[in-house]
Amino acid sequence: MLETIYLTALIVAICLILLCIGLFFNRKFPNTHVSGNKEMRKRGIGCVQSQDREARKENPHRIAEKVKHEETANN
């Protein structure tokens, strides 16, 4: 049982060391964001956070709503 735990810890340590070496030589983290993928952008697929940010922007061309004061007072 203890041998299995040691073996698992050794494998995890080796994986972490290899990841660190890869990051050291590349000098940057890989862009795993949806917007960083060219094929996704070609297909019009976007990130939910980006879509939400766009939806929350103020539209300068919108028409302001008119609310009757009497209707809002009765409710």
Cβ contacts of 21-30, under 8 Å, gap ≥ 24 = none
Quote the CA–CA distance of 31 and 71 in Å, as a whole number. 52
Quote the CA–CA distance of 28 and 41 in Å, as a whole number. 22
User: Could you tell me if residue 74 is inside a domain?
Assistant: no
User: Could you tell me if residue 66 is inside a domain?
Assistant: no
Question: Does residue 10 sit in helix, strand or coil?
Answer: helix
Tell me: the pLDDT tens digits for 37-64? Answer: 888 888 888 888 877 888 888 878 878 7
pLDDT at 5: 96
pLDDT at 74: 59
The number of folded domains in the chain is 1
Host domain of residue 51: 2-55
